[in-house]
Chains A and B, each alone.
Chain A
Amino acid sequence: MTESVVSARHLGKTIQDRVILHDISLDLPPGNVVGVLGKNGAGKTTLLETLLGFSRPTTGSSALFGEDSFTLPAAIKRRIGFVPQQDELVSTLTGGQQLSLTAALHRRWNRPLIAGLCAAWEVPTARRIQALSPGERQKLSTLLALGHEPELLILDEPASSLDPIARRQFLQQILEIASAQTRTILFSTHIVSDLERVANRIWIVRDGTLAWQGDLDALKESVVRLNIHGRTALPEHLDIPDIVSCRADGARATVVVSGWDDSQARDITQRLDADVEVESLSLEDIFVELHR
């Protein structure tokens, strides 16, 4: 079995009596692009930062490349790249100076790659960072995490300040990295459309827990909305497995289920003496339904 790049066991984090993360267990094999989706304040940033070992978890543990996050050896840290939500650029430096400074901290630095991306992404390298727009800062901050070609790249809301063109270029770069199929990318976002393009896996963070972790395609295929029209009034308990949400009134019901399998439709039709219409849902719909 391939070793997990990222793993967590019953990970929990409480800050000043407030539970931010609760009992999160996960495993991530290499070569995946994971989109971390959640409402504002759901705990995405705390999850990423705890996985990275920025602070000690309150309960449980997490590991990167099999090493405990909180005591990562330098050799492991070199294999990781991180783009924080709030950049940590030195505003009195120029973009070029900042890039050289970061390059000097790494043993390995792919100068041609970064020079190429600076040009393609139109990152001004001669101007002081304090004069850059939020989008330019975000691009620069991303470049700082790409130069050493990390095996694990973690990005916290990397595209939030980018215009549509810049976002597309950024996503293409992410896919270029993913095409190596050995590198792992973890990014948090609330831009659902970006996630649908580049992620093959998804973690949905809800109130500090993982409401879903798995294949994006499997999520889309297994969560459906059933529109049920009974010939007579429906029973109080519909007795359908894995109900996410349910609204029923007399002979009609709208039910969202997870773990759907098309073979269930016939059973429901017969048992409830009803027409069942199975409606597929977009990721955005699924996200909203999981928060009802």
Chain B
Amino acid sequence: MDDRSRARSAPRLFILQPASVVPIYRQLIDQVRRMVASGQLPPGTALPSVREMAAEYTVNPTTISKAYSLLEAEGLLQRNRGKPMTISARRRANGTVAQRLKQVQPHVEALVLAARQLDLREEDLAALIRKQMGEDT
């Protein structure tokens, strides 16, 4: 019981909102990806077990294991026998440029739609993207 209350009192890593339009497993995948990309979850970091996650966030355990499995397939998480899953050592961008561009496609579509509604010109939008990407590297 002691261990459990200690585990429960650990700060939360993620924000999972069951009522969101985004399925819970998607929310978890997106957050892990982002936190790995930004270095908040460095390689070797252990993630809570499926059971601990389900208890902490009061969500179905299969939802958590689905997210973990997909992240493992993506190469972001590493499964360790009898131990918690950890963030993989290799930081990598998976797939060809075309495949990775496909991943960003929905965001681009949303951005272009918003830009059209605001009557923005292509050059201005492109300049903004260039500036933003320059700042982040």
* A contacts, CB < 8 Å to B: 31-33, 168, 171-172, 175-176, 178-179, 181, 192-193, 196-200, 216-217, 220-221, 262, 265, 275, 277, 280-285
Contacts and interface: CB of A to CB of B under 8 A. Distances in A.
B47 interface: no
A254 to B, nearest CB: 16
Looking at chain B's contact residues, the main secondary structure is helix
Given A262-B106, A277-B113, A282 B19 contact: yes
A220 B61 contact: no
12 contacts: A31-B62, A175-B58, A179-B61, A181-B61, A192-B19, A193-B18, A193-B19, A197-B18, A198-B59, A200-B60, A281-B21, A282-B19
Interface of B: 18-26, 50-51, 54-55, 58-63, 66, 106, 109, 113, 116
Given A172-B55, A275-B116, A178 B21 contact: no
B25 A175 contact: no
Contacts, number: 67
A211 B26 CA distance: 25
Given A196-B24, A280-B21, 6 more contacts: A175-B55, A192-B19, A193-B19, A200-B63, A217-B63, A220-B23
A175 B21 contact: no
B97 to A, nearest CB: 20
B54 A196 contact: no
Given A172-B55, A262-B106, A275-B116, A178 B23 contact: no
